[in-house]
Structure 1
């Protein structure tokens, strides 16, 4: 809006032939001239300003899009962090319940003389550790909820813990690590806008080196006979000492710097895209392998250990180890799911999309 504005006209008043000598003493022969002067921009100055302003507006639009995308990513990451903390709370609660059940069963076996009192002490230690872990998980969940509510600007949030969304990983998005995939990335889009703004700055400084004529028009009042006459004038600066060469050179160097920085940022974004894609593929493979193979195997081993312990085929330490492995694997699976979702967010951000 400001770049398209024309220069303001100037009001001028000239007084001549007064306060001199002889017949020009006093104001008897004073001549007054009043009128307007208008600087006329030439050399494309106005259009150059408009082009530079439009380039700045394009940059501001990309920056706004980038800020919106970053906020969505922060909310998504906070939401995933809250779901992950809630999953750990559920796992630690199950671990605590199992430890309580096991401690009761061991005490009964110790009273019946079927187990050594040492085993009861071990179960007490396991129970105490499970209680500490459960309390820690609760505190982490509260912190995750607080972070999410702060981002959303609401007093409290309700997590959809049973939707199954956290466990669904689906297929890895088909994203190729090339510039075409970065087309919707606002950081990538602003590279060309930055160069366009710098190029518009060069054009603006070049146009500023072209002198603008000033047109003057007014009415002169002759005091001798009370007559009036029209006065017209035209002035043109002579670019002898100042041709705006320094500003033109600086604008050209700004353009060179913008082009170099754009090339460097383009390579950085391509590298980040390739790395994010590989990270997501690795996280997908890990989460899928743990969900389909490792967790079922750990569940089977824990079930077999419980049956074997009841039948007297396995010792108490074997049972504890199998159960500990089962819960640890489930916790690792939750971590793998979290890492997958976070990696997907990062990849989608680089291609200018949300999760």
Structure 2
């Protein structure tokens, strides 16, 4: 009995393991990820892109429906009637009618053209979304690299603060330092450790953000490869870049196609007053006589003038034109702002470079030496520690602004310019 129960338990566990493996399909993305691999992953698995692809499919289905040859399917009518003669005899009358509604006023073509334009607009919006997701992926990837560098710098600051605290305690035990000087070192170490905790938290957040964009289980380990080496982008003339951005932005092209679609729909609404014809052919047998013929039916636009549909279509056209003009203005503003933000961030990074951080660390070491020689006291230690923490934070903020500005400019220009981990890249389809 016991062995049978154990056997069933083992079998059950094996089945559960098999089910869990079949439900959770293995993810091919490695834990160590390059920037190119991350971009490829985002294009395939990002949920926003998948949703946009479904919207394109919906529009394509609507276009296929709009391209039908006739407004509706043919109708078949069957009739049967019994006829009684005065002499008491009876005969049966039979009738068959086939009806088909047909487009009038070129309404079928207008519907199909408008639907095709809506599909093209959706595809262009999808293309621009891919550009936006690529920029978000690049920003998230580089922010992980930046957060990782922030952890390393925080660990260096903690190491320096620990050395200073140990030295201050030894001097205090030797009677060469005061309690105030020891307290200053303890406070500095606490602040340094707090900075390290915040840096580790920011690294976790950056990894989670990247995992969300790439549609990766956030519990999985994710370690982007490479080091952050911001290189200056080679920007063309401002007016040239704005003009190329207007030509490049696929959402702007989609907006123009939406205007054309709304114009077709307005023409269609104006032609709805033209009724569709229904043609029919019939065959009847009455009193042993065969009757065949053709007929036409047409609705009379007596009570429904389609005025509401025409007014709504006119407003949709005006709305599409306003949205197109607003988007064009937005593209100009985003490009100009992106250029200004990037240039300012680039100058900040050039001024606040690694040498400045290294100098602040060296100042703290020199202060410790001077402290050991009795040349400085607690205020000098506090000043050196504050300076190191402030320089580190300012430098990291400048790098973060540079990443944000470069990726915002990438999106604003429709992917015309983008920054890599090393040498900046310009799309090969655009030449200066």
Relative to the length of structure 2, the TM-score reads 0.72
Distance 1:47 1:34 in 2: 31
Segment of structure 1 superposing worse, 338-347 or 201-210:
201-210
- Give, in angstroms, the shift of residue 313 of structure 1: 4.2
User: 2:224 aligned with 1:159, yes or no?
Assistant: yes
Residue 76 (structure 2) aligns with: 11
Does the aligned pair in 1 maintain the 2:180–2:378 contact within 8 Å? no
- Give, in angstroms, the shift of residue 62 of structure 1: 2.5
Does the aligned pair in 1 maintain the 2:283–2:290 contact within 8 Å? yes
Identify the match of residue 390 of structure 2 among 325, 328, 340: 328
Residue 278 (structure 2) aligns with: 214
Q: Assess, with a 3 A threshold, how the Cα gap between structure 1 residues 140 and 325 changes in structure 2: closer, same or farther.
A: same
Does the aligned pair in 2 maintain the 1:91–1:331 contact within 8 Å? no
Larger-Rg structure:
1
Q: Secondary structure at the match of 2:77?
A: strand
Distance 2:262 2:335 in 1: 27
Segment of structure 1 superposing worse, 324-333 or 171-180:
171-180
- Give, in angstroms, the shift of residue 308 of structure 1: 4.3
Q: Assess, with a 3 A threshold, how the Cα gap between structure 1 residues 57 and 138 changes in structure 2: closer, same or farther.
A: same
- Give, in angstroms, the shift of residue 41 of structure 1: 1.2
Residue 430 (structure 2) aligns with: none
What is the RMSD of the two structures over their aligned residues, measured on CA atoms?
A: 2.9
Q: Assess, with a 3 A threshold, how the Cα gap between structure 1 residues 137 and 335 changes in structure 2: closer, same or farther.
A: same
Identify the match of residue 108 of structure 2 among 37, 42, 46: 46
Does the aligned pair in 1 maintain the 2:168–2:181 contact within 8 Å? yes
Provide runs of 4+ in structure 1 moved above 6 Å: none
Distance 1:344 1:304 in 2: 37
Does the aligned pair in 1 maintain the 2:349–2:395 contact within 8 Å? yes
Distance 1:132 1:299 in 2: 18
- Give, in angstroms, the shift of residue 121 of structure 1: 2.2
User: 2:250 aligned with 1:201, yes or no?
Assistant: no
Does the aligned pair in 1 maintain the 2:282–2:292 contact within 8 Å? yes
List per-residue Cα deviations over 1:278-310 (Å, max 9, x = no partner): 111111111111117744654564465455445
Relative to the length of structure 1, the TM-score reads 0.86
User: 2:245 aligned with 1:181, yes or no?
Assistant: yes
1:133-152 matches, cutoff 5 A: 133-152=195-214
Identify the match of residue 249 of structure 1 among 293, 311, 325: 311
List per-residue Cα deviations over 1:193-222 (Å, max 9, x = no partner): 221121111122233222222221122212
Segment of structure 1 superposing worse, 67-76 or 201-210:
67-76
Residue 351 (structure 2) aligns with: 289
Residue 34 (structure 1) aligns with: 96
Q: How many residues align?
A: 347
- Give, in angstroms, the shift of residue 69 of structure 1: 3.2
- Give, in angstroms, the shift of residue 92 of structure 1: 1.5
Q: 5+ residue gaps in structure 1?
A: none
Identify the match of residue 296 of structure 2 among 214, 234, 248: 234
- Give, in angstroms, the shift of residue 2 of structure 1: 0.6
1:94-105 matches, cutoff 5 A: 94-105=156-167
Distance 2:230 2:337 in 1: 23
Does the aligned pair in 2 maintain the 1:172–1:281 contact within 8 Å? no
- Give, in angstroms, the shift of residue 158 of structure 1: 1.0
Q: Secondary structure at the match of 1:167?
A: coil
Does the aligned pair in 1 maintain the 2:255–2:324 contact within 8 Å? yes
- Give, in angstroms, the shift of residue 55 of structure 1: 1.5
Q: Assess, with a 3 A threshold, how the Cα gap between structure 1 residues 18 and 244 changes in structure 2: closer, same or farther.
A: farther
Residue 192 (structure 1) aligns with: 256
Q: 5+ residue gaps in structure 2?
A: 1-63, 420-432
